[in-house]
Structure 1
Amino acid sequence: MLTTLTALMPVILVIASGYLIARTGLITGEQWRGVERLAYFVLFPAVLFRTISQADFASFPTLNMGASLLASIFAMAVLLMLARPAIERVWGIDPGRFTSIFQGTLRWNAMVALAIADNVAGDTGLAMLAVAMVFMIPVLNVLSILVLSHYASGTAPSGARILKDLGTNPFIISIGAGVLLNVSGLALPGVIDDTLAVFARAALPIGIICVGAGLDLRSLRRPGPALTMGTFLRPVFMPLLAFAFASLFGVTGPALAIVIIASAVPCASNSYLLARQMGGDAKLMAEIITLQTLVAMVSIPLALLLFT
């Protein structure tokens, strides 16, 4: 437990620093948008491209990891859909609020996951986490859009738009480019590799500072059934499902730790944007993101202790 906490404490403290920086006004709202775009479109893609281009995929169970993560996602999605009528009947949670619970339970913050994977397993952890992204990002985006289009009042994007968004996702592009370079057998020129290494050193702290800056503790209401479910279903049940399927597919060691990290990190901040765009309950979504991030400071170490 102490070793896990030691690895996670720097990430937690940097998130807290981001929150304090935002509250002091040192960086203002629009300036934060620029920093977030820098991290999303430049710094993290540089990390992923460099890591994947140099990864030894034969050294870890790529397909088994992917199967474990996808199985846990689909299992939880099915359970939520089956439980939806009872959730509405017993707690009065309408379909729009259900969509925020759905996103809060299934979607993940890849920036936080990358930072933790780097601290826990180094470059190998980053490579395995990038593999998890390939499997998870397209599926989670499509599932979230389908549920919002069915239960919320907004207009769903077309299939072509979804494919375009996935095809222009900077994480997916950088991972794909890294895979191509990796299988080609070519190596990055030294000066390019050194440049990307500088970007990589900046990416993780800047990315998780932005996570902290996005927290809005003032928005939290007194927890009700919707916020409670949206907050705790993910940290409690997603690591449990991931561990069960990882055991089924024979995933152990550092690969298991990465599967647990990908399943235990809090919900992605862009879930709020999707909820707002498609008519979901954006306020509830913002509250879930904030509270989940706070809970994750305890739940992630516990998940790693219990399941790895």
Structure 2
Amino acid sequence: MIFFALAPVILVIASGYLLARANLISGEQWVGVERLAYFVLFPAVLFRTIALADFSSVPTFDMGAALLSAIVTLAVALLAARTLIEKIWGIPAVRFTSIFQGSLRWNAMIALALAANIGGQTALAMLAVAMVFMIPILNGASIVVLSWYASGTTPNFSKILKDLFTNPFILSIFAGVLMNISGLTMPAIVDDTLEIFAQAALPIGIICVGAGLDLSSLRRPGPALTMGTFLRPVFMPLLAFLFANLYGVTGQALTVIIIASAVPCASNSYLLARQLGGDAKLMAEIITLQTLAATVTIPLALLLFT
């Protein structure tokens, strides 16, 4: 089941790589495709999923607390070790931003597919809880880290706030939460339109990842790629499991927490790295290797922790 959810993603990444090497779409045209995914398609997915979720049927705050605790723990550990990482392995700050995103962010689209296959609508509602708690803080933390380290200079506070409050992912989540708690019914024509956008988001975002990939570098994996690839699948499910037990999360809610923590890094991490000056090439390589490794690491995490 898990293999069949991941295999199409791998194939679409490969198609993006082939399309770029065939020069069917030029470099400038790829920028436009990336912006479409970043500003329109992924925000549509987030808004619709959250706006339609039934949060009253799931252990919302216990799940949120477990997930946030795991994220904060790993984020603090990474930031505390940043200088040491550069001294020992020679990894500069701009490449650290890709390690940070690769270790913390998650591919909600893959998680949605897995949750639907494993637990149906109830699991999807639980995953929407994970999205509300995880995506704003992960996007916010990623934006701050990219703003702080990618340029090589310390940005002013107003720039960080601007990056946060103009981020389309964060805005779409807030809008989805407001729609959800308002009690309003989404008009069918709006819902159908957003569903079409949502169906386009994953393939286009993953194609962009493949287009930015340089497979020659994968044959020479360095410490940055190794660290960015394996920190997340090794430590995030373990931390999530420990905090889920601490907060008393069990059953299907625990399964959803492990899915959310075990899936590979979000494909839009690449888009964010491109938008904010990070190491997009390294980010694409981390996403690809994590996705390949996930055929083993996700089943192993579910076996060990659920």
Distance in 2 separating the partners of 1:111 and 1:65: 19
Distance in 2 separating the partners of 1:89 and 1:64: 39
Which structure 2 residue ranges, 5 or more long, are not aligned? none
Deviation at 1:54, TM superposition (A): 1.9
Deviation at 1:233, TM superposition (A): 1.2
Superposed CA deviations along residues 47-103 of structure 1, whole A, max 9, x for unmatched, are 322222221111122222221221112211333345456545654556665554334
Superposed CA deviations along residues 182-209 of structure 1, whole A, max 9, x for unmatched, are 2222212222222223323333333333
The percent identity for this pair of structures is 72
**1:132 — aligned with what?**
130
Superposed CA deviations along residues 102-150 of structure 1, whole A, max 9, x for unmatched, are 3432234445545555555556555544443433344334544665677
Which structure 1 residue ranges, 5 or more long, are not aligned? none
**1:272 — aligned with what?**
273
- 1:48 and 2:46 matched: yes
**1:251 — aligned with what?**
249
Distance in 2 separating the partners of 1:263 and 1:100: 18
Taking only aligned residues, the RMSD between alpha carbons, in angstroms, comes to 3.3
Decide which of 153, 156, 175 is 2:173's aligned counterpart: 175
Distance in 2 separating the partners of 1:287 and 1:205: 17
Q: What does residue range 68-147 of structure 1 map to in structure 2 within 5 Å? A: 68-84=66-82, 87=85, 90-91=88-89, 93=91, 98-114=96-112, 116-117=114-115, 127-144=125-142
**2:238 — aligned with what?**
240
Distance in 2 separating the partners of 1:202 and 1:152: 30
Cα pair 1:275 1:282 within 8 Å, conserved: no
Calculate the TM-score normalised by the size of structure 2. 0.80
**Which has the higher mean CA deviation after the structures are superposed, 38-47 or 58-67?**
38-47
> What secondary structure is seen at the aligned counterpart in 2 of 1:222?
coil
Aligned residues: 303
Distance in 2 separating the partners of 1:96 and 1:226: 11
Distance in 2 separating the partners of 1:94 and 1:39: 28
- 1:188 and 2:189 matched: no
- CA distance 1:81–1:154, change in 2 (3 Å): closer
Letter in 1 for 2:274: L
Calculate the TM-score normalised by the size of structure 1. 0.79
Distance in 2 separating the partners of 1:183 and 1:56: 10
